């Protein structure tokens, strides 16, 4: 996608996006829409050859898919592991219509390794901390969203486009991999209210500014909820395209997640999502300052993060269900 200074996005109240100012949004939406169709086609094909459950579990609770080889392959800094977890079945498109359709983009995955023990007290005991080669990971993910809508309604001007940053880790519930959020921060007060109420997610109000100049993106956030103030600022450069993440690789483990977990009281809820594989690109982090992890009661994230970028993705979201 070609970018220039007209792609700039400056939005403190969630009413303007870079995609709206130029043809970037239309182009990204077309790409995301085409990916959505290809993913639906693949999903239909996979359903025709298998009747396994979307949760990857058979009636006796064991994995519905045969496991791959336990060979550990190391080369060109790529490690392919089989940890015995079925990470494929959850990728299939759920039955029925999704509640919402989203477009996500200008997204930077930032990840730090961390010991699972340091996360244990911050995650409900019903959830197992998911690890790759013995390490847990914390992710900080700034991005923007557009054309967010209920599946049976058109996008609503000034309400369907906004920015978000989430802080997360990865978990298993009864063997099903997903995401656990420490916080989700957005400049859409309606999203904060709706997601807290219906998805039991820890959303917070924030002022967010995203600006793009050619292949450089600057992202600034200030959480405005007084109980847990936080700030984040990062500048990154978009790099070359990467191959599709392969199952068993760290990139797949960190990015290919197809459900999110939340808790209400003693109950765990799972919300399914569906999308094509992430169109990952390289990225170079030029600057970064933040205290958002500490505000979310995490230890200070030290060292340089592992980073990946994605330009645009179409995402379908289903209603949460008690897991």
For 117, the domain range is: 8-46+97-322
Question: What residues have CB less than 8 Å from 82, skipping those under 6 apart?
Answer: 67, 68, 69, 70, 71, 248
Question: What residues have CB less than 8 Å from 154, skipping those under 6 apart?
Answer: none
Question: What residues have CB less than 8 Å from 318, skipping those under 6 apart?
Answer: 94, 96, 98, 99, 271, 272, 273, 274
**Is residue 316 domain-resident?**
yes
The pLDDT assigned to 158 comes to: 83
**Is residue 84 domain-resident?**
no
Give the pLDDT band (50/70/90) at residue 50: very low
What CATH number should be reported for the domain holding residue 243?
2.40.400.10
pLDDT digits (tens, 9 = 90+) for 219-248: 999 999 888 999 999 999 999 999 999 999
The pLDDT assigned to 28 comes to: 54
When divided into structural domains, the chain yields a total of: 1
More confident of the two residues 65 and 96: 96
- Is pLDDT at 96 greater than 70 in this prediction? yes
Of 279, 282, 299, the C-alpha closest to 291 is 299
Give the pLDDT band (50/70/90) at residue 71: very low
Which CA distances in Å does 267 have to 176, 203, 261, 272, 321? 16, 19, 10, 17, 10
Mean pLDDT, residues 275-298 taken together = 98
Mean pLDDT, residues 274-290 taken together = 98
**Is residue 186 domain-resident?**
yes
**Is residue 256 domain-resident?**
yes
**Is residue 1 domain-resident?**
no
pLDDT digits (tens, 9 = 90+) for 187-207: 999 999 999 999 999 999 999
Query: Are the CB atoms for 314 and 276 separated by under 8 Å?
Result: yes
**Tokens read off for 235:** 């500048």
Give the pLDDT band (50/70/90) at residue 92: very high
Percentage of the residues of the chain whose pLDDT score is greater than 90: 73
- Is pLDDT at 24 greater than 80 in this prediction? no
**Is residue 78 domain-resident?**
no
The pLDDT assigned to 193 comes to: 96
- Is pLDDT at 30 greater than 90 in this prediction? no
**Is residue 160 domain-resident?**
yes
Mean pLDDT, residues 29-38 taken together = 52
pLDDT digits (tens, 9 = 90+) for 143-167: 999 999 999 999 998 899 999 999 9
- Is pLDDT at 1 greater than 50 in this prediction? no
Average pLDDT, the chain: 84
Question: What residues have CB less than 8 Å from 68, skipping those under 6 apart?
Answer: 82, 247, 248
Mean pLDDT is lowest, of 20-29, 65-74, 265-274, for: 65-74
The pLDDT assigned to 32 comes to: 56
The pLDDT assigned to 257 comes to: 98
In the chain, how long is the greatest CA-to-CA distance?
57
Query: Are the CB atoms for 190 and 159 separated by under 8 Å?
Result: yes
**Is residue 296 domain-resident?**
yes
């Amino acid at each position: 996608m070609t970018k220039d200074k007209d792609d700039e996005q400056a939005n403190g109240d969630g009413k303007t996006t870079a995609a709206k100012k130029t043809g970037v949004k239309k182009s990204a939406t077309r790409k995301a829409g085409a990916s959505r169709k290809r993913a639906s086609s693949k999903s239909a094909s996979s359903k025709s050859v298998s009747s396994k459950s979307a949760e990857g579990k058979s009636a006796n609770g064991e994995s519905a898919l045969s496991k791959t080889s336990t060979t550990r392959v190391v080369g060109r800094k790529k490690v392919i592991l089989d940890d015995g977890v079925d990470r494929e079945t959850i990728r299939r498109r759920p039955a029925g219509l999704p509640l919402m359709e989203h477009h996500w983009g200008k997204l930077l995955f930032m990840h730090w390794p961390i010991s699972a023990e340091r996360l244990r007290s911050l995650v409900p005991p019903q959830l197992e901390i998911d690890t790759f080669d013995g390490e847990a990971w914390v992710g900080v993910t700034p991005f923007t969203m557009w054309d967010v809508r209920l599946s049976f309604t058109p996008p609503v001007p000034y309400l369907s486009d906004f920015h978000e940053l989430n802080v997360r880790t990865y978990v298993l519930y009864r063997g099903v991999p997903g995401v656990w959020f420490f916080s989700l921060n957005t400049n859409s007060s309606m999203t904060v209210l709706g997601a807290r109420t219906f998805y039991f997610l820890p959303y917070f109000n924030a002022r967010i500014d995203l600006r793009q100049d050619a292949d450089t993106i600057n992202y600034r956030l200030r959480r405005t909820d007084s109980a847990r103030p936080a700030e984040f600022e990062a500048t990154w450069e978009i790099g070359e395209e990467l191959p599709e993440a392969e199952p068993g690789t760290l990139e797949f483990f960190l990015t290919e997640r197809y459900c999110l977990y939340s808790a209400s009281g003693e109950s765990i809820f799972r919300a399914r999502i569906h999308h094509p594989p992430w169109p990952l690109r390289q990225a170079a982090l030029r600057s970064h300052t933040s205290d958002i992890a500490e505000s979310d009661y995490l230890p200070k994230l030290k060292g340089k993060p592992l980073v990946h970028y994605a330009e645009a993705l179409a995402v379908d979201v289903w209603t949460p269900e008690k897991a």
